[in-house]
Structure 1
Amino acid sequence: MGFGDDRHQEHMMHAGAAWLLIVAAIASVTADYIPLPTSSGHRASTAQLYSWPDLLGASIIVDDYCGNLANCSPDGVNYDNVISSACVTGMWLFYEEYDFGANALGAMEYAYGTNFCFNLNFVNDAASSMRYVGNREDYMANGITVYQYRSFKGMEYFSQYDVPVFPMNIRWWPPSAIISGNLSWTLYEFPYFEGRSVCLHARTDYNFPTLFLDDMAGISLPRLGSMSKGCQPRRTQVNLYPSQRSKGMPRRSSSPVSRIDGQRRSHPVLGSGSHSRRFNRTSVGRFVAPARRTTSF
Protein backbone atom coordinates (compact mmCIF):
# COMPACT_ATOMS: atom_id res chain seq x y z
CA MET A 1 0.00 0.00 0.00
CA GLY A 2 1.49 3.36 -1.07
CA PHE A 3 1.50 6.77 0.51
CA GLY A 4 -1.58 7.79 -1.50
CA ASP A 5 -3.44 4.78 -0.19
CA ASP A 6 -2.57 5.76 3.40
CA ARG A 7 -3.87 9.29 2.84
CA HIS A 8 -7.06 7.89 1.30
CA GLN A 9 -7.60 5.50 4.23
CA GLU A 10 -6.99 8.30 6.76
CA HIS A 11 -9.51 10.51 4.92
CA MET A 12 -12.10 7.75 4.97
CA MET A 13 -11.53 7.20 8.73
CA HIS A 14 -12.02 10.91 9.46
CA ALA A 15 -15.14 10.96 7.25
CA GLY A 16 -16.50 7.91 9.05
CA ALA A 17 -15.82 9.46 12.45
CA ALA A 18 -17.57 12.66 11.39
CA TRP A 19 -20.57 10.66 10.19
CA LEU A 20 -20.72 8.80 13.52
CA LEU A 21 -20.67 12.14 15.37
CA ILE A 22 -23.57 13.40 13.23
CA VAL A 23 -25.56 10.21 13.85
CA ALA A 24 -24.85 10.41 17.58
CA ALA A 25 -25.94 14.04 17.65
CA ILE A 26 -29.19 13.21 15.83
CA ALA A 27 -29.82 10.30 18.20
CA SER A 28 -29.23 12.57 21.18
CA VAL A 29 -31.67 15.18 19.86
CA THR A 30 -34.24 12.47 19.11
CA ALA A 31 -33.89 10.97 22.57
CA ASP A 32 -34.38 14.37 24.24
CA TYR A 33 -37.25 15.46 21.97
CA ILE A 34 -40.64 15.67 23.67
CA PRO A 35 -43.55 16.41 21.31
CA LEU A 36 -45.77 19.31 22.25
CA PRO A 37 -49.40 18.57 23.15
CA THR A 38 -51.87 18.64 20.30
CA SER A 39 -54.24 21.56 19.91
CA SER A 40 -57.03 19.54 21.47
CA GLY A 41 -54.83 18.95 24.51
CA HIS A 42 -54.75 22.68 25.08
CA ARG A 43 -58.56 22.72 24.95
CA ALA A 44 -59.43 20.03 27.44
CA SER A 45 -62.36 20.81 29.75
CA THR A 46 -61.36 21.63 33.31
CA ALA A 47 -62.98 23.48 36.21
CA GLN A 48 -61.23 24.69 39.32
CA LEU A 49 -63.63 25.05 42.25
CA TYR A 50 -63.25 27.20 45.35
CA SER A 51 -65.10 27.03 48.66
CA TRP A 52 -65.22 30.83 49.09
CA PRO A 53 -66.09 33.69 46.72
CA ASP A 54 -63.38 35.43 44.67
CA LEU A 55 -61.37 32.22 44.20
CA LEU A 56 -60.45 31.80 47.86
CA GLY A 57 -60.60 28.91 50.30
CA ALA A 58 -60.19 25.19 49.64
CA SER A 59 -59.79 24.29 45.97
CA ILE A 60 -59.96 21.28 43.67
CA ILE A 61 -59.77 20.79 39.90
CA VAL A 62 -62.44 18.74 38.15
CA ASP A 63 -62.01 17.26 34.67
CA ASP A 64 -64.90 14.78 34.53
CA TYR A 65 -68.52 14.28 35.52
CA CYS A 66 -69.34 14.50 39.22
CA GLY A 67 -72.85 13.40 40.19
CA ASN A 68 -72.29 14.05 43.89
CA LEU A 69 -69.75 16.61 45.03
CA ALA A 70 -69.62 14.92 48.44
CA ASN A 71 -67.81 11.94 46.91
CA CYS A 72 -65.62 13.31 44.13
CA SER A 73 -62.58 14.49 46.08
CA PRO A 74 -59.69 11.97 46.18
CA ASP A 75 -58.94 13.23 49.69
CA GLY A 76 -62.44 12.48 50.89
CA VAL A 77 -63.32 16.16 51.35
CA ASN A 78 -67.04 16.90 51.07
CA TYR A 79 -67.64 19.70 48.53
CA ASP A 80 -71.41 19.30 48.43
CA ASN A 81 -73.12 22.66 49.03
CA VAL A 82 -69.71 24.28 49.45
CA ILE A 83 -68.61 25.76 46.10
CA SER A 84 -68.84 29.56 45.81
CA SER A 85 -66.54 30.44 42.88
CA ALA A 86 -64.79 28.75 39.98
CA CYS A 87 -62.48 29.12 37.00
CA VAL A 88 -63.58 27.13 33.95
CA THR A 89 -62.07 26.17 30.64
CA GLY A 90 -64.72 24.76 28.34
CA MET A 91 -68.45 24.60 29.07
CA TRP A 92 -69.62 23.50 32.51
CA LEU A 93 -73.04 22.97 34.09
CA PHE A 94 -73.60 23.27 37.86
CA TYR A 95 -76.68 21.75 39.54
CA GLU A 96 -78.35 22.21 42.89
CA GLU A 97 -79.56 18.60 42.79
CA TYR A 98 -77.56 15.39 42.67
CA ASP A 99 -77.03 13.44 39.43
CA PHE A 100 -77.36 16.54 37.24
CA GLY A 101 -80.93 17.38 38.12
CA ALA A 102 -82.17 13.86 37.41
CA ASN A 103 -85.64 14.74 38.73
CA ALA A 104 -85.83 18.02 36.76
CA LEU A 105 -85.85 19.96 40.03
CA GLY A 106 -83.64 22.61 41.57
CA ALA A 107 -81.62 25.51 40.25
CA MET A 108 -78.65 25.30 37.90
CA GLU A 109 -76.29 27.65 36.16
CA TYR A 110 -73.70 27.33 33.46
CA ALA A 111 -70.50 29.08 32.49
CA TYR A 112 -68.12 28.85 29.57
CA GLY A 113 -64.90 30.42 28.41
CA THR A 114 -61.15 29.90 28.47
CA ASN A 115 -59.81 30.21 32.02
CA PHE A 116 -62.90 32.25 32.88
CA CYS A 117 -63.31 32.99 36.59
CA PHE A 118 -66.55 33.96 38.33
CA ASN A 119 -68.61 33.77 41.51
CA LEU A 120 -71.53 31.35 41.46
CA ASN A 121 -74.99 32.91 41.57
CA PHE A 122 -78.02 30.63 41.83
CA VAL A 123 -76.09 27.63 43.16
CA ASN A 124 -73.69 29.51 45.40
CA ASP A 125 -73.02 27.20 48.38
CA ALA A 126 -75.69 24.93 46.89
CA ALA A 127 -74.07 22.99 44.03
CA SER A 128 -74.34 19.21 44.43
CA SER A 129 -73.30 17.97 40.97
CA MET A 130 -71.61 19.22 37.80
CA ARG A 131 -70.59 18.09 34.33
CA TYR A 132 -68.87 19.38 31.21
CA VAL A 133 -70.44 19.83 27.77
CA GLY A 134 -69.29 18.29 24.50
CA ASN A 135 -65.96 16.62 23.84
CA ARG A 136 -63.88 16.55 27.03
CA GLU A 137 -60.55 16.55 25.18
CA ASP A 138 -61.51 19.43 22.87
CA TYR A 139 -64.37 21.64 24.05
CA MET A 140 -64.32 23.55 20.74
CA ALA A 141 -65.00 20.40 18.69
CA ASN A 142 -68.28 20.44 16.77
CA GLY A 143 -71.05 18.51 18.49
CA ILE A 144 -74.58 18.65 19.88
CA THR A 145 -75.84 17.52 23.28
CA VAL A 146 -79.57 16.95 23.85
CA TYR A 147 -80.79 16.82 27.44
CA GLN A 148 -83.75 14.97 28.87
CA TYR A 149 -85.32 17.99 30.58
CA ARG A 150 -85.38 21.73 30.29
CA SER A 151 -82.39 23.66 31.61
CA PHE A 152 -79.94 20.89 30.64
CA LYS A 153 -81.05 18.47 33.35
CA GLY A 154 -81.33 14.71 33.47
CA MET A 155 -79.87 12.24 31.00
CA GLU A 156 -78.09 13.42 27.88
CA TYR A 157 -77.28 12.30 24.35
CA PHE A 158 -74.07 13.67 22.80
CA SER A 159 -73.05 13.28 19.16
CA GLN A 160 -70.46 14.65 16.78
CA TYR A 161 -72.02 12.85 13.81
CA ASP A 162 -75.33 12.53 11.98
CA VAL A 163 -77.94 10.58 13.95
CA PRO A 164 -80.35 8.92 11.47
CA VAL A 165 -82.45 7.37 14.26
CA PHE A 166 -82.64 9.00 17.67
CA PRO A 167 -82.77 6.09 20.17
CA MET A 168 -86.33 5.21 21.13
CA ASN A 169 -85.58 4.86 24.83
CA ILE A 170 -84.32 8.46 25.09
CA ARG A 171 -86.66 10.22 22.69
CA TRP A 172 -87.38 13.11 25.04
CA TRP A 173 -89.50 16.13 24.13
CA PRO A 174 -89.39 18.97 24.76
CA PRO A 175 -85.77 18.73 25.83
CA SER A 176 -82.98 21.27 25.90
CA ALA A 177 -79.78 21.33 23.87
CA ILE A 178 -76.30 22.78 23.67
CA ILE A 179 -74.27 23.12 20.48
CA SER A 180 -70.50 23.16 20.87
CA GLY A 181 -68.27 24.45 18.11
CA ASN A 182 -69.36 26.59 15.18
CA LEU A 183 -71.31 24.01 13.15
CA SER A 184 -75.08 24.29 12.78
CA TRP A 185 -77.37 21.28 13.26
CA THR A 186 -80.76 20.27 11.86
CA LEU A 187 -83.33 18.47 14.01
CA TYR A 188 -85.97 16.34 12.28
CA GLU A 189 -89.40 15.17 13.35
CA PHE A 190 -88.95 11.59 12.10
CA PRO A 191 -86.05 9.14 11.72
CA TYR A 192 -83.85 9.22 8.63
CA PHE A 193 -84.11 13.01 8.33
CA GLU A 194 -87.80 13.07 7.38
CA GLY A 195 -90.71 15.31 8.35
CA ARG A 196 -90.59 18.83 9.70
CA SER A 197 -87.19 20.16 10.65
CA VAL A 198 -85.56 23.04 12.45
CA CYS A 199 -82.08 24.42 11.98
CA LEU A 200 -80.12 25.48 15.05
CA HIS A 201 -77.36 27.93 14.28
CA ALA A 202 -74.29 28.05 16.48
CA ARG A 203 -73.30 31.52 17.54
CA THR A 204 -70.22 32.87 15.77
CA ASP A 205 -70.20 36.42 17.13
CA TYR A 206 -67.73 35.57 19.89
CA ASN A 207 -64.40 33.80 19.94
CA PHE A 208 -66.16 30.97 21.77
CA PRO A 209 -68.84 29.68 19.39
CA THR A 210 -71.71 27.86 21.04
CA LEU A 211 -75.49 27.84 21.45
CA PHE A 212 -77.45 27.19 24.63
CA LEU A 213 -81.17 26.38 24.27
CA ASP A 214 -82.55 25.81 27.74
CA ASP A 215 -86.11 25.12 26.52
CA MET A 216 -86.96 23.72 23.07
CA ALA A 217 -90.72 23.68 23.59
CA GLY A 218 -91.28 26.46 21.08
CA ILE A 219 -89.40 25.31 17.99
CA SER A 220 -92.42 23.70 16.27
CA LEU A 221 -91.33 20.07 16.39
CA PRO A 222 -93.62 17.58 18.17
CA ARG A 223 -90.81 15.02 18.57
CA LEU A 224 -87.16 14.43 17.79
CA GLY A 225 -86.52 11.59 15.36
CA SER A 226 -83.07 12.33 13.90
CA MET A 227 -80.32 14.94 13.69
CA SER A 228 -77.80 15.95 11.03
CA LYS A 229 -74.86 18.28 10.79
CA GLY A 230 -75.36 21.51 8.85
CA CYS A 231 -78.57 23.21 7.72
CA GLN A 232 -80.62 22.56 4.61
CA PRO A 233 -82.13 25.31 2.41
CA ARG A 234 -85.64 26.56 3.21
CA ARG A 235 -85.62 25.12 6.70
CA THR A 236 -87.03 26.98 9.66
CA GLN A 237 -84.10 28.65 11.33
CA VAL A 238 -83.73 29.10 15.07
CA ASN A 239 -80.88 31.25 16.36
CA LEU A 240 -81.52 32.26 19.98
CA TYR A 241 -84.35 32.20 22.46
CA PRO A 242 -85.11 35.32 24.53
CA SER A 243 -83.45 33.71 27.55
CA GLN A 244 -80.22 33.61 25.53
CA ARG A 245 -80.48 37.32 24.68
CA SER A 246 -80.03 38.35 28.28
CA LYS A 247 -76.39 39.37 27.69
CA GLY A 248 -75.13 37.53 30.71
CA MET A 249 -77.83 38.52 33.19
CA PRO A 250 -79.38 35.69 35.22
CA ARG A 251 -82.71 34.33 34.04
CA ARG A 252 -85.17 34.17 36.92
CA SER A 253 -87.83 31.50 36.94
CA SER A 254 -89.19 28.78 39.18
CA SER A 255 -86.17 26.73 38.10
CA PRO A 256 -83.59 29.45 37.56
CA VAL A 257 -80.81 29.26 35.01
CA SER A 258 -77.90 31.66 35.24
CA ARG A 259 -75.94 32.28 32.07
CA ILE A 260 -72.34 33.32 32.67
CA ASP A 261 -70.49 34.08 29.47
CA GLY A 262 -66.71 34.15 29.63
CA GLN A 263 -66.51 36.30 26.54
CA ARG A 264 -68.77 39.06 27.85
CA ARG A 265 -68.05 39.17 31.55
CA SER A 266 -64.72 39.31 33.30
CA HIS A 267 -63.72 38.77 36.90
CA PRO A 268 -61.15 40.95 38.69
CA VAL A 269 -59.54 37.99 40.46
CA LEU A 270 -57.44 35.41 38.60
CA GLY A 271 -56.66 32.08 40.19
CA SER A 272 -53.09 30.81 40.25
CA GLY A 273 -54.03 27.19 40.94
CA SER A 274 -50.81 26.74 42.90
CA HIS A 275 -52.48 24.88 45.78
CA SER A 276 -55.25 23.06 43.94
CA ARG A 277 -55.92 19.35 44.11
CA ARG A 278 -56.71 17.37 40.99
CA PHE A 279 -59.31 14.64 40.65
CA ASN A 280 -58.24 11.13 39.94
CA ARG A 281 -60.11 10.39 36.73
CA THR A 282 -61.09 6.95 37.98
CA SER A 283 -62.91 8.48 40.94
CA VAL A 284 -65.42 10.48 38.93
CA GLY A 285 -67.77 9.93 36.03
CA ARG A 286 -69.16 6.63 37.38
CA PHE A 287 -72.69 7.86 37.76
CA VAL A 288 -75.17 5.88 35.67
CA ALA A 289 -78.97 5.95 35.76
CA PRO A 290 -80.91 8.10 36.24
CA ALA A 291 -78.40 10.56 34.77
CA ARG A 292 -76.04 8.94 32.32
CA ARG A 293 -74.07 10.17 29.34
CA THR A 294 -75.02 8.56 26.05
CA THR A 295 -72.66 9.05 23.12
CA SER A 296 -73.34 8.11 19.53
CA PHE A 297 -70.59 6.85 17.26
Structure 2
Amino acid sequence: MEEGGRADDFRYLTGYANPNWTGVYYQFAEYSPDLSVVFLDDALESVCGTGYWILYDATDYDPYSTGITCHFHGVNQCATWDSSCSNVASSLRYAGSPYGLNNDYYNLYEGKSFRGEEFQGDTDAADLGDLDLKISSLMVTGQSGWTFYVGVNFSGPAVCVYADEHVTTDGIHLDYARFFDMSELGLPDNFIRSVERGCLSDRVVGAPPPWR
Protein backbone atom coordinates (compact mmCIF):
# COMPACT_ATOMS: atom_id res chain seq x y z
CA MET A 1 0.00 0.00 0.00
CA GLU A 2 1.01 3.59 -0.52
CA GLU A 3 -0.07 6.67 1.35
CA GLY A 4 -2.70 8.84 -0.27
CA GLY A 5 -6.16 10.23 0.18
CA ARG A 6 -7.36 12.49 2.96
CA ALA A 7 -5.30 14.04 5.74
CA ASP A 8 -7.79 13.46 8.59
CA ASP A 9 -9.56 10.56 10.27
CA PHE A 10 -12.77 10.71 8.25
CA ARG A 11 -13.74 7.14 7.36
CA TYR A 12 -14.17 6.70 3.61
CA LEU A 13 -13.40 4.38 0.73
CA THR A 14 -12.92 5.65 -2.81
CA GLY A 15 -13.31 2.82 -5.30
CA TYR A 16 -11.77 3.09 -8.77
CA ALA A 17 -12.59 1.17 -11.94
CA ASN A 18 -8.91 0.98 -13.00
CA PRO A 19 -5.65 0.06 -11.26
CA ASN A 20 -3.52 2.65 -9.47
CA TRP A 21 -6.44 4.86 -8.43
CA THR A 22 -7.53 5.90 -11.91
CA GLY A 23 -10.68 5.75 -13.97
CA VAL A 24 -14.31 6.10 -12.93
CA TYR A 25 -14.61 6.35 -9.14
CA TYR A 26 -17.07 6.73 -6.29
CA GLN A 27 -16.46 7.71 -2.67
CA PHE A 28 -18.29 5.61 -0.07
CA ALA A 29 -18.89 6.76 3.49
CA GLU A 30 -21.73 4.38 4.36
CA TYR A 31 -22.71 0.77 3.77
CA SER A 32 -23.46 -0.07 0.13
CA PRO A 33 -25.44 -3.32 -0.27
CA ASP A 34 -25.56 -3.17 -4.08
CA LEU A 35 -22.76 -1.56 -6.10
CA SER A 36 -24.83 -1.62 -9.27
CA VAL A 37 -26.63 1.43 -7.86
CA VAL A 38 -23.45 3.44 -8.46
CA PHE A 39 -22.57 1.52 -11.65
CA LEU A 40 -19.56 -0.21 -10.11
CA ASP A 41 -20.75 -3.80 -9.70
CA ASP A 42 -17.83 -6.16 -10.42
CA ALA A 43 -15.81 -3.12 -11.49
CA LEU A 44 -13.50 -2.06 -8.64
CA GLU A 45 -9.78 -2.57 -9.31
CA SER A 46 -8.20 -0.19 -6.78
CA VAL A 47 -9.16 1.82 -3.70
CA CYS A 48 -8.03 4.62 -1.42
CA GLY A 49 -9.41 5.11 2.04
CA THR A 50 -9.39 5.22 5.80
CA GLY A 51 -10.90 2.59 8.07
CA TYR A 52 -11.62 -1.10 7.87
CA TRP A 53 -13.72 -1.98 4.82
CA ILE A 54 -15.03 -5.36 3.70
CA LEU A 55 -15.95 -6.06 0.07
CA TYR A 56 -18.16 -8.99 -0.93
CA ASP A 57 -18.60 -10.90 -4.18
CA ALA A 58 -22.42 -10.80 -3.92
CA THR A 59 -25.00 -8.15 -3.06
CA ASP A 60 -26.34 -7.67 0.48
CA TYR A 61 -22.99 -8.63 2.02
CA ASP A 62 -22.93 -12.14 0.61
CA PRO A 63 -25.06 -13.97 3.20
CA TYR A 64 -25.02 -17.36 1.44
CA SER A 65 -21.77 -17.50 -0.53
CA THR A 66 -18.64 -19.39 0.40
CA GLY A 67 -16.54 -17.16 -1.84
CA ILE A 68 -13.87 -14.80 -0.62
CA THR A 69 -14.25 -11.49 1.13
CA CYS A 70 -11.76 -8.74 0.32
CA HIS A 71 -10.40 -6.41 2.97
CA PHE A 72 -8.98 -2.89 3.03
CA HIS A 73 -7.60 -1.51 6.28
CA GLY A 74 -5.51 1.60 6.68
CA VAL A 75 -5.35 5.30 7.40
CA ASN A 76 -5.15 7.49 4.29
CA GLN A 77 -3.73 4.70 2.14
CA CYS A 78 -4.33 3.23 -1.32
CA ALA A 79 -4.15 -0.26 -2.79
CA THR A 80 -4.62 -2.01 -6.13
CA TRP A 81 -6.48 -5.30 -5.76
CA ASP A 82 -4.78 -8.52 -6.77
CA SER A 83 -6.47 -10.86 -9.23
CA SER A 84 -8.57 -12.57 -6.55
CA CYS A 85 -10.32 -9.32 -5.58
CA SER A 86 -10.22 -7.24 -8.77
CA ASN A 87 -13.58 -6.83 -10.52
CA VAL A 88 -15.47 -9.01 -8.03
CA ALA A 89 -17.09 -6.70 -5.45
CA SER A 90 -20.88 -6.39 -5.51
CA SER A 91 -21.39 -4.88 -2.03
CA LEU A 92 -19.26 -3.31 0.69
CA ARG A 93 -19.43 -2.02 4.25
CA TYR A 94 -17.13 -0.90 7.03
CA ALA A 95 -16.47 -2.45 10.42
CA GLY A 96 -16.43 -0.24 13.48
CA SER A 97 -18.38 2.61 14.97
CA PRO A 98 -20.45 4.96 12.80
CA TYR A 99 -19.54 7.75 15.23
CA GLY A 100 -15.74 7.73 15.07
CA LEU A 101 -12.95 5.90 13.30
CA ASN A 102 -11.40 4.33 16.40
CA ASN A 103 -14.30 4.42 18.84
CA ASP A 104 -14.72 1.29 20.94
CA TYR A 105 -17.13 -0.98 19.05
CA TYR A 106 -18.00 -4.55 18.15
CA ASN A 107 -19.53 -6.13 15.04
CA LEU A 108 -20.93 -9.65 15.25
CA TYR A 109 -21.76 -11.38 11.97
CA GLU A 110 -24.19 -14.12 11.05
CA GLY A 111 -21.84 -15.70 8.52
CA LYS A 112 -18.19 -16.65 8.56
CA SER A 113 -15.77 -14.08 7.16
CA PHE A 114 -18.09 -11.23 8.21
CA ARG A 115 -20.99 -12.09 5.91
CA GLY A 116 -24.70 -11.56 6.21
CA GLU A 117 -26.67 -9.85 8.97
CA GLU A 118 -24.86 -8.25 11.89
CA PHE A 119 -25.38 -7.27 15.51
CA GLN A 120 -23.30 -4.25 16.45
CA GLY A 121 -22.86 -1.80 19.27
CA ASP A 122 -20.78 0.10 21.80
CA THR A 123 -22.65 -0.91 24.97
CA ASP A 124 -23.44 -4.09 26.87
CA ALA A 125 -25.93 -6.46 25.24
CA ALA A 126 -27.61 -9.03 27.49
CA ASP A 127 -28.84 -10.87 24.41
CA LEU A 128 -28.35 -10.64 20.64
CA GLY A 129 -31.98 -10.43 19.55
CA ASP A 130 -32.65 -12.10 16.21
CA LEU A 131 -29.01 -13.21 15.95
CA ASP A 132 -29.08 -15.26 19.16
CA LEU A 133 -27.12 -18.47 18.54
CA LYS A 134 -26.28 -17.31 15.01
CA ILE A 135 -22.87 -15.60 15.32
CA SER A 136 -20.08 -17.06 13.17
CA SER A 137 -17.47 -14.25 13.01
CA LEU A 138 -16.69 -10.98 14.75
CA MET A 139 -14.58 -7.83 14.81
CA VAL A 140 -13.75 -5.32 17.52
CA THR A 141 -12.31 -1.85 16.99
CA GLY A 142 -10.91 0.74 19.37
CA GLN A 143 -8.97 0.33 22.59
CA SER A 144 -11.45 -1.27 24.99
CA GLY A 145 -11.67 -4.93 25.71
CA TRP A 146 -14.98 -6.71 25.07
CA THR A 147 -16.14 -9.89 26.77
CA PHE A 148 -18.22 -12.36 24.75
CA TYR A 149 -20.33 -14.93 26.62
CA VAL A 150 -21.89 -18.20 25.52
CA GLY A 151 -24.92 -17.50 27.74
CA VAL A 152 -27.47 -14.71 27.80
CA ASN A 153 -27.24 -12.06 30.54
CA PHE A 154 -23.44 -12.30 30.66
CA SER A 155 -23.39 -15.91 31.83
CA GLY A 156 -21.40 -19.02 31.05
CA PRO A 157 -17.91 -19.40 29.62
CA ALA A 158 -16.49 -16.23 28.10
CA VAL A 159 -13.53 -14.77 26.25
CA CYS A 160 -12.17 -11.22 26.44
CA VAL A 161 -11.00 -9.68 23.17
CA TYR A 162 -8.74 -6.67 22.63
CA ALA A 163 -7.66 -5.26 19.29
CA ASP A 164 -4.50 -7.08 18.23
CA GLU A 165 -3.74 -5.23 14.98
CA HIS A 166 -2.80 -1.56 14.90
CA VAL A 167 -2.41 1.01 12.12
CA THR A 168 -1.08 4.51 12.79
CA THR A 169 -0.53 7.38 10.34
CA ASP A 170 0.28 10.93 11.44
CA GLY A 171 -1.03 10.25 14.93
CA ILE A 172 -4.32 8.75 13.70
CA HIS A 173 -4.94 5.27 15.13
CA LEU A 174 -6.97 2.35 13.86
CA ASP A 175 -7.02 -0.60 16.26
CA TYR A 176 -8.89 -3.78 15.41
CA ALA A 177 -9.16 -7.53 15.89
CA ARG A 178 -10.82 -9.82 13.37
CA PHE A 179 -11.93 -13.41 13.73
CA PHE A 180 -13.08 -15.02 10.50
CA ASP A 181 -14.71 -17.88 12.38
CA MET A 182 -15.28 -18.83 16.00
CA SER A 183 -12.58 -21.50 16.04
CA GLU A 184 -10.03 -18.66 16.08
CA LEU A 185 -11.42 -17.75 19.52
CA GLY A 186 -11.65 -21.34 20.68
CA LEU A 187 -15.46 -21.16 20.69
CA PRO A 188 -18.02 -23.34 18.91
CA ASP A 189 -19.86 -21.79 15.99
CA ASN A 190 -23.15 -20.01 16.81
CA PHE A 191 -22.55 -19.96 20.57
CA ILE A 192 -22.06 -16.26 21.47
CA ARG A 193 -25.18 -14.93 23.21
CA SER A 194 -24.21 -11.73 25.09
CA VAL A 195 -21.52 -9.03 25.14
CA GLU A 196 -20.12 -6.88 27.95
CA ARG A 197 -17.73 -3.96 27.76
CA GLY A 198 -14.42 -4.49 29.52
CA CYS A 199 -12.14 -7.46 30.02
CA LEU A 200 -14.09 -9.68 32.42
CA SER A 201 -12.75 -13.14 31.64
CA ASP A 202 -9.54 -14.97 32.46
CA ARG A 203 -9.34 -15.98 28.79
CA VAL A 204 -7.87 -12.99 26.97
CA VAL A 205 -7.07 -12.54 23.28
CA GLY A 206 -4.94 -9.54 22.32
CA ALA A 207 -3.85 -6.75 24.67
CA PRO A 208 -4.54 -3.04 25.17
CA PRO A 209 -2.58 -0.93 22.64
CA PRO A 210 0.56 0.74 24.03
CA TRP A 211 -0.90 4.25 23.69
CA ARG A 212 -4.08 3.40 25.63
TM-score range, shorter chain: 0.7 to 0.9
What CA distance in whole angstroms lies between the structure 1 residues aligned with 2:133 and 2:87? 31
What CA distance in whole angstroms lies between the structure 1 residues aligned with 2:106 and 2:61? 18
TM-score (norm 1): 0.61
- Equivalent position to 1:54, from 16, 20, 28: 20
Overall identity of the aligned pairs, in %? 24
1:118 matched to 2:70: no
Alpha-carbon distance change, 123 to 137 in structure 1, aligned in 2, over 3 angstroms: same
Q: Which runs of 5+ in 2 are unaligned?
A: 1-7, 169-173, 208-212
More strand by share: 2
Q: Which residue of 1 aligns with 2:3?
A: none
Q: Which residue of 2 aligns with 1:66?
A: 32
1:80 matched to 2:47: no
1:92 matched to 2:53: yes
Q: Which runs of 5+ in 1 are unaligned?
A: 1-41, 241-297
Q: Which residue of 2 aligns with 1:225?
A: 193
1:236 matched to 2:203: yes
Question: 2:182 aligns to what SS in structure 1?
Answer: coil
Q: Which residue of 2 aligns with 1:5?
A: none
RMSD, matched Cα: 1.9
Question: 1:99 aligns to what SS in structure 2?
Answer: helix
Q: Which residue of 2 aligns with 1:101?
A: 62
What CA distance in whole angstroms lies between the structure 2 residues aligned with 1:96 and 1:154? 12
Q: CA deviation at 1:174?
A: 5.1
CA contact (8 A) 1:95 1:123 kept: no
Deviation track 1:86-124 (CA, whole Å, cap 9, x = no partner) reads: 001111111111111121332211111111100123220
Q: CA deviation at 1:60?
A: 1.2
CA contact (8 A) 2:34 2:90 kept: yes
Q: Which amino acid aligns with 1:185?
A: W
1:143 matched to 2:105: yes
Alpha-carbon distance change, 65 to 230 in structure 1, aligned in 2, over 3 angstroms: same
Q: Which residue of 1 aligns with 2:119?
A: 157
Paired residues for 1:1-297 under 5 Å: 42-71=8-37, 73=38, 78-121=39-82, 122-167=84-129, 169-173=130-134, 175-203=136-164, 206-207=167-168, 208-222=174-188, 223-232=191-200, 235-239=202-206
Alpha-carbon distance change, 218 to 79 in structure 1, aligned in 2, over 3 angstroms: closer
Q: CA deviation at 1:79?
A: 0.6
CA contact (8 A) 1:44 1:136 kept: no
Greater Cα radius of gyration, structure 1 or 2:
1
Q: CA deviation at 1:218?
A: 4.6
What CA distance in whole angstroms lies between the structure 2 residues aligned with 1:49 and 1:204? 24
Question: 2:60 aligns to what SS in structure 1?
Answer: helix
Q: CA deviation at 1:59?
A: 1.2
What CA distance in whole angstroms lies between the structure 2 residues aligned with 1:194 and 1:215? 21
Q: CA deviation at 1:238?
A: 2.5
CA contact (8 A) 2:165 2:177 kept: no
CA contact (8 A) 1:91 1:110 kept: yes
Q: Which amino acid aligns with 1:64?
A: E
Matched length: 192
What CA distance in whole angstroms lies between the structure 2 residues aligned with 1:157 and 1:96? 21
Question: 1:151 aligns to what SS in structure 2?
Answer: helix
Alpha-carbon distance change, 204 to 150 in structure 1, aligned in 2, over 3 angstroms: closer
Q: Which residue of 2 aligns with 1:264?
A: none
